[in-house]
């Protein structure tokens, strides 16, 4: 069941339309990541949902409340939306104790002291910081400060959590740990959350579903694995991981099979054909060997290694396949420059992209 519904959301700044007719739905208890390059409109979309930005068009419903409907003239102010927020500059106040930081929002809401105490204790317990209630932020590690911000964002029991790059101030190791902690916590609390990031690892690990934005529009949407394995756009296949783009000169149907013709005349069978002549295949989906392996009955090419890029646990090989360059990911140090190799492009991993 859909808990958040955003319909035809549009926002312009001056002449620039930064969010163009975005439609999205978030189910109860689901974490959706809005992912995309800098400036693609993720934060603006989130701020519209929070009520911090007034859209120029569209409708936003959270639970059974219409938060905004520009045509109807409905616009609920942010403080009445019951939405928790956690932003990049997580801004916990240095002059307040951990307890006071978490209690602040509840006081603003004029909750009764006994209820405040109960909810702050519970929030700190959930993030594992009950013992640090009386400490000041400067005496906490970066990860602990992050958890204070997190406790603060859900202390008031919001119906929806909005997070904008909450991990981006952390160093890589801490970030890797916190993204797993955060995912587990969101699941444990059963919170519905929208998470903005430009970091694909954050999005892949945290999100039940990701929405990839580009130029104010949605380019791809789906479960992280589906979007990764079956992107429908060149942008999607290149933004998430790396890819090879193959331009066929022709795509035809031959006895029930879709086949693409390379400019050099070689034919490749295609598993996920669409309307486009362009197809993507990820470097790790191409098999590489010194010989043609058993079972490689179609889509076998020969190539010469032109470049290697050693990454420790694996290596990327640039191969020249009769005028077409393909990048293949394989075990580290398996091959060297000048090696003549066999490549297998499984049809199911050739994906039509626009």
Ligand X SMILES: Nc1ncnc2c1ncn2[C@@H]1O[C@H](COP(=O)(O)OP(=O)(O)OP(=O)(O)O)[C@@H](O)[C@H]1O
Of 132 and 212, CB closest to ligand X:
212
| DSSP result, 308-334 | EEE-SSEEEEEEEETTEEEEEEEETTS
CA-to-CA separations, 81 to 68, 245, 287, 332, in angstroms, rounded:
10, 45, 52, 52
From 22-30, 39-47, 62-70, 332-340, span contacting ligand X (CB under 6 A): 39-47
Contact status: 51 vs ligand X (CB under 6 A):
no
Q: At which residue do the structure tokens 């995912």 appear?
A: 183
From 41-49, 148-156, 186-194, 199-207, span contacting ligand X (CB under 6 A): 41-49
Four-CA torsion 338, 342, 347, 348, nearest 10 degrees: -80
From 34-42, 259-267, 301-309, 326-334, span contacting ligand X (CB under 6 A): 34-42
How many Å is the maximal CA-CA distance in the chain? 77
Contact status: 48 vs ligand X (CB under 6 A):
no
Contact status: 43 vs ligand X (CB under 6 A):
yes
CA 11, distance to chain mean position in Å, is: 22
Taking CB atoms, the residue at the shortest distance from ligand X is 43
Of 216 and 283, CB closest to ligand X:
216
**CA 22/CA 349 separation, integer angstroms:** 29
Contact status: 166 vs ligand X (CB under 6 A):
no
- Which candidate, 71, 4, 6, 3, places its Cα nearest to that of 218? 6
Of 67 and 213, CB closest to ligand X:
213
Contact status: 38 vs ligand X (CB under 6 A):
yes
**Phi, psi angles (nearest 5°) of residue 13:** -120, 110
Q: What's the min distance (Å) between Cβ of 34 and ligand X?
A: 8
Contact status: 200 vs ligand X (CB under 6 A):
no
Of 42 and 278, CB closest to ligand X:
42
Contact status: 137 vs ligand X (CB under 6 A):
no
**CA 195/CA 205 separation, integer angstroms:** 11
Q: What's the min distance (Å) between Cβ of 262 and ligand X?
A: 37
**CA 221/CA 219 separation, integer angstroms:** 7
Contact status: 198 vs ligand X (CB under 6 A):
yes
Q: What's the min distance (Å) between Cβ of 79 and ligand X?
A: 20
Residue of 44, 146, 243, 329 interacting with ligand X (CB under 6 A): 44
Number of other CB atoms surrounding residue 274 within 10 Å: 15
Q: Which chain residues interact with ligand X by CB under 6 A?
A: 13, 18, 36, 38-44, 198
């Amino acid at each position: 069941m859909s808990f958040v519904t955003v319909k035809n959301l549009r926002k312009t700044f001056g002449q620039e339309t930064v969010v163009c007719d975005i439609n999205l739905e978030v189910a109860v208890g689901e974490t959706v990541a809005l992912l995309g390059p800098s400036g693609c409109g993720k934060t603006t979309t989130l701020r519209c949902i929070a009520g911090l930005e007034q859209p120029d068009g569209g409708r936003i419903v959270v639970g059974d409340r219409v938060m905004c409907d520009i045509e109807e003239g409905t616009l609920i102010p942010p403080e009445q939306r019951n939405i928790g927020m956690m932003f990049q500059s997580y801004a916990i106040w240095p002059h307040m104790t951990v307890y006071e930081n978490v209690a602040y929002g509840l006081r603003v809401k004029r909750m009764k002291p006994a209820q405040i105490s109960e909810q702050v204790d519970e929030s700190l317990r959930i993030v594992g910081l009950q013992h640090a209630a009386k400490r000041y932020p400067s005496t906490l590690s970066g990860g602990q400060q992050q958890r204070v911000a997190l406790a603060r964002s859900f202390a008031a029991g919001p119906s929806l959590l909005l997070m904008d790059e909450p991990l981006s101030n952390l160093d890589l190791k801490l970030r890797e740990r916190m993204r797993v902690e955060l995912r587990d916590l969101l699941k444990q609390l059963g919170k519905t959350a929208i998470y903005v990031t430009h970091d694909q690892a954050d999005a892949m690990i945290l999100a039940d579903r990701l929405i990839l934005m580009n130029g104010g529009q949605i380019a791809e949407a789906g479960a992280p694995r589906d979007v990764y394995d079956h992107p429908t756009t060149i942008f999607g296949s290149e933004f998430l991981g790396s890819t090879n783009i193959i331009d066929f000169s022709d795509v035809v149907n031959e006895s029930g099979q879709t086949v693409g013709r390379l400019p050099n005349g070689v034919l490749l069978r295609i598993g996920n054909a669409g309307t486009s002549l362009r197809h993507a295949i990820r470097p790790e989906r191409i098999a590489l060997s010194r010989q043609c392996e058993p079972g490689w009955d179609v889509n076998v090419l020969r190539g010469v290694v032109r470049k290697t890029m050693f990454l420790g646990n694996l290596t990327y090989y640039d191969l020249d396949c009769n005028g077409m360059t393909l990048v293949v990911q394989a075990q580290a140090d398996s091959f060297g420059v000048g090696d003549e190799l066999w490549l297998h492009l499984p049809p199911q991993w050739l994906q039509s992209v626009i």
